[in-house]
Amino acid sequence: MSSHTASSSNGGNGSGDSGAPRRNSKRPKYSKFTQQELPACKPILTPRWVVSAFMLVAIVFIPIGIACLLGSRDVVEVVKRYETECIPVGNRGNEVQFIQSAADKTCTISMTIPKRMKQPIYVYYQLDNFYQNHRRYVKSRSDEQLKSASKENDTSSCEPEDTATGRGAIVPCGLIAWSLFNDTYSFSRLNQSLTVNKKGIAWKSDKEKRFGKDVFPKNFQGGGLVGGARLDPLTRLSDQEDLMVWMRTAALPTFRKLYGKIEVDLDAKEVINVTLGNNYNTYSFNGKKKLVLSTTSWIGGRNDFLGIAYLTVGMICFALSMGFTIVYFVKPRRLGDPTFLSWNRGPGSH
């Protein structure tokens, strides 16, 4: 019994020997930053501060929302859906077969202007249920090929529209370019043609940096299955703005793309006749096609969402500020003494 005690005592003394190696500490070096002792603003949210903050947000957001809605309502917009109307009655039910045939696909539609539209009037085509954001579709392109003729054979990401059998690389390659929109529109009023300006519809950065001045279409739409529009092989890509607009893929399955601009005013109640080439196949995936004429205002095109969002947030903040004010006066709550907060107490306080 005594020998066991002695051995334990000796072991304890040995472990405390000053000659034993010291263990390295992982404790970080002290600093006010690591110990979160830097000066900081610690506001006390009293009812007056909370009510004032909500009221300030309401005062700012509600006028902005009203202004955005008024700006959006100033935009005059005419939308005409035509994918069904431009199919002959006898072919309805066999739309895919008709659109892939060699039959004449020209049709005429009319659009009535509800209010005076001041120039420039933007012409858009709208597609519904077209998923340009599909991963394989978005990746099927070669930006290097579009920039420089020296990168013509850089088609590794363009499969299946990468090369033409026995003829080399396709320029521009990929599914995005292959599916280029190819419906056409011609406008007239009172038997007088309206010119559509298709210049200046693409981004300046696309024209100057993304599409090369030395790159020309080659072997494009030369396969058995034609996906969309054909490109002029003698026109360089930096001048083909329809292609630039289409190559900027949309994030949502319903999107609009700029077709051109009408640079004359259109009067209210005026009827615009549109001779339309219904060439693009949206029938295979139950897509919809619409033609849009639109003006712009300081906020851009028609979009009520921004104004509604500002108004909604502003009204919620106003309601909260009124609710907190009523609660504060009807059933007030005694506030604590801030001098008892830890950061207001002196180092000697307990």
CA 153 from chain center: how many Å? 31
Q: Band of the pLDDT at 19, cuts 50, 70, 90?
A: low
Helix and strand counts by DSSP (H, E) for the chain: 9, 11
Which phi and psi (to 5°) does residue 81 adopt? Answer: -85, 135
Tokens describing residue 34? 């690591």
In tens, the pLDDT along 85-133 reads 999 998 888 999 999 888 999 999 999 999 999 999 999 999 999 999 9
pLDDT at 12 over 60: no
- Domain range summary for the chain, segments of one domain joined by +: 46-75+301-331, 79-295
In tens, the pLDDT along 74-97 reads 999 999 999 999 999 988 889 999
Least Cα distance to 244 among 161, 162, 150, 146 occurs for 146
